[in-house]
Amino acid sequence: YSLQVQVGSSPVYRLERKLGKGGFGQVYVGRRTSGGSDRIGPDAIEVALKLEHRNSKGCNYGPPYEWQVYNSLSGCYGIPSVHYKGRQGDFYILVMDMLGPSLWDVWNSLGQSMSPNMAACIAVEAISILEKLHLKGFVHGDVKPENFLLGLPGSADEKKLYLIDLGLASRWKDAQSGQHVDYDQRPDVFRGTIRYASVHAHLGRTGSRRDDLESLAYTLIFLIKGRLPWQGYQGDNKSFLVCKKKMATSPELMCCFCPAPFKQFLEAVTNMKFDEEPNYVKLISFFESLIEPCTPLRPIRIDGALKVGQKRGRLVINLEEDEQPKKKIRLGSPATQWISVYNARRPMKQRYHYNVADSRLRQHVEKGNEDGLFISCVASAANLWALIMDAGTGFTSQVYELSTVFLHKDWIMEQWEKNYYISSIAGANNGSSLVVMSKGTPYTQQSYKLSESFPFKWINKKWKEGFHVTSMTTAGSCWGVVMSRNSGFSDQVVELDFLYPSEGIHRRWESGYRITSMAATADQAAFILSIPKRKMMDETQETLRTSAFPSTHVK
């Protein structure tokens, strides 16, 4: 690569030592070959050059996505200035101010820990920077110690904090309409850095303001304690294990040995809703008690946070406690529960049986069939079966098999030959399964998959082929998902979580989706929500969570 760089109307720079890599690009020191006067600004003798190859992920047949973000954010508080940009040879190049060490470097030089007072200064300044970034309609998407830099050592800004690397930034606010972007979840998409990512990012949910703040909370705790409880996982399912651990670690445990404000901050940001506007002033006020009152002695300048305070007279405002305390989530205590879903229907005959042992199954089904009922739904808890039988299925004939093999292939193939289709399935902890197949379903073709992790990639592939999920279950940690053609659904989405995904389900309900299948392992719960092709007369749906089978509620 030529060691001379010149883009747009910039001076000529000589490429020197590498400073690091950020997102999809590499960053080098550039030194002017002649002239120049200042240490920072467009006329600086030394600058930072961010090079991105035109074939890299960030450059989709054009300048890097990050350039658009810098254009929208030019002059934004705490974001470094871009002085020149352009293409030279195969590289897109940004010319920016040289900055000092990252918070990671500072943490390392302090013996891999940091005083809570210094972390509090970082907290209030970082919240201010994120507030200004969010005000412009963007979320950063990769908040971590490596992406916060101090100003150039020996310069006037050496104690000033900057947020760099906008390669993963995205809009939380639509540029045209000014509305919040829509909620979505794509469990196969992960963006960010595993150690600091929010739980929602792990689960593939659309990024919003809460995610930057959750990553900041993990960053602060890391700087003080020197490690996070989920460090050290390896292997293909690292992201899954880290997310599970994040969900299972209570704020008390995570913030032990940290002063109270850090726990308050973590609790506040992990309880936020998808489109909730953060109360930045309140978040900043948590840390006031830890901040050195004497300005010259502060390790980090907190101009941004002070500006917020000056508007109101001082840094901390006494917030009226008009807010309802929120229900705490992520308590770290696993629970087993029944989740039942109720759909409003015209009156019809329906009966339920639960805690049914293998040997008693047959008599319940035969009795139901005699009364003109078919099985509409099966489930399993603690190796016992539960079934719902009713008169509203529209089936004309039904067979079922109880097998010690999870979704016994030979039997299923045999029934497909006779034009039976899988209408409901349940798997038990011991690996056995109950498969119910019926005639009179609308289905024209079926396919099913067994998988040790939730098979979202397969589901996504099958959606493109015109299939929809029509039933699913788990046996132990193994998922079984059945997809059918001609399902009667026009669209389908997935909600996958380590807890009951209440917010996601409510958002989907508001968009006209209804739960049509669900299953859970000991770790995860998955809900399939669908939009029916034919508008239902009454489309009310409720869910209930109970510790025992909800027999009284069903009635």
- 509 burial level (CB within 10 Å; 0-12, 13-18, 19+): middle
Alpha-carbon distance of 268 to 262, in angstroms, equals 10
pLDDT score of 319: 47
Alpha-carbon distance of 271 to 323, in angstroms, equals 13
Q: Is residue 2 within 8 Å of 14, Cβ to Cβ?
A: no
Number of CB atoms found within 10 A of residue 72's CB: 15
Q: Is residue 534 within 8 Å of 324, Cβ to Cβ?
A: no
pLDDT score of 313: 41
Q: Is residue 469 within 8 Å of 516, Cβ to Cβ?
A: yes
Q: Which two tokens stand for residue 37?
A: 């006067």
pLDDT score of 311: 44
Q: Which two tokens stand for residue 468?
A: 């929809």
Which helix (H) or strand (E) segment holds residue 297: the answer is none
Q: Which two tokens stand for residue 88?
A: 């030279």
Q: What is the pTM of this model?
A: 0.90
Which helix (H) or strand (E) segment holds residue 416: the answer is helix 409-417
**Rounded alpha-carbon distances, angstroms, from residue 342 to 371, 429, 516, 533:** 23, 25, 11, 20
Alpha-carbon distance of 401 to 76, in angstroms, equals 64
Q: Which two tokens stand for residue 296?
A: 């010259």
Alpha-carbon distance of 505 to 470, in angstroms, equals 18
Q: Is residue 123 within 8 Å of 110, Cβ to Cβ?
A: no
Number of CB atoms found within 10 A of residue 387's CB: 24
| Runs of H (alpha helix) within 83-163 | 103-109, 116-135
Helices (H) and strands (E) in the chain, counts: 15, 24
Enter the DSSP assignment of 44. B
pLDDT score of 318: 47
pLDDT score of 297: 84
Alpha-carbon distance of 362 to 366, in angstroms, equals 6
Cα torsion 103, 114, 233, 148 to 10°: value is: -20
Q: DSSP labels for 150-217?
A: E--TTSTTTT-EEE---TT-EESB-TTT-PBPPP-B-TT---S-TTT--HHHHTTBPP-HHHHHHHHH
Q: Which domains does the chain carry?
A: 4-96 (3.30.200.20), 101-310 (1.10.510.10), 338-546 (no CATH)
Which among 339, 275, 343 has a CA at the least distance from the CA of 513? Answer: 343
Which residues are within 8 A (CB) of 549 and not within 5 positions of it... i.e. 6 or more apart? 338, 354, 355, 381, 386
pLDDT score of 291: 92
- 17 burial level (CB within 10 Å; 0-12, 13-18, 19+): exposed
Which residues are within 8 A (CB) of 250 and not within 5 positions of it... i.e. 6 or more apart? 330, 331, 332
Alpha-carbon distance of 165 to 24, in angstroms, equals 9
Strand order in the sheet with 421-427: 397-403, 433-439, 421-427
Q: Is 38 a catalytic residue?
A: no
pLDDT score of 69: 94
Q: DSSP labels for 14-74?
A: EEEEEEEEETTEEEEEEEESS---BSSSTTBSEEEEEEEETTSTT-SSSS-HHHHHHHHHT
Alpha-carbon distance of 505 to 528, in angstroms, equals 10
Q: For residue 47, what are the β-bridge partners?
A: 30, 97
Helix axes 116-135, 209-225, angle to 10 degrees: 160
Set 43, 90, 105, 142: catalytic member: 142
- 117 burial level (CB within 10 Å; 0-12, 13-18, 19+): middle
326 is in an annotated binding site: no
Alpha-carbon distance of 492 to 506, in angstroms, equals 15
pLDDT score of 328: 65
Question: 78 phi and psi, to 5 degrees?
Answer: 80, 0
Q: For residue 378, what are the β-bridge partners?
A: 387
Q: Is residue 206 within 8 Å of 181, Cβ to Cβ?
A: yes
Q: Is residue 467 within 8 Å of 483, Cβ to Cβ?
A: yes
Q: Which two tokens stand for residue 353?
A: 């049986």
Q: Is residue 93 within 8 Å of 50, Cβ to Cβ?
A: yes
User: What is the gyration radius of the CA atoms in the chain, in angstroms?
Assistant: 28
In this structure, which amino acid lies at residue 482? V
- 453 burial level (CB within 10 Å; 0-12, 13-18, 19+): middle
- Splitting the chain (555 residues) into consecutive groups of 10 residues, what average pLDDT does each group show? 84 92 84 86 92 83 89 92 93 94 96 95 97 97 97 93 94 95 93 96 97 98 97 91 94 94 97 96 95 87 71 46 59 77 90 96 96 96 95 96 95 97 96 96 97 95 97 95 96 94 94 95 94 79 93 88
**Rounded alpha-carbon distances, angstroms, from residue 321 to 14, 188, 213:** 57, 40, 22
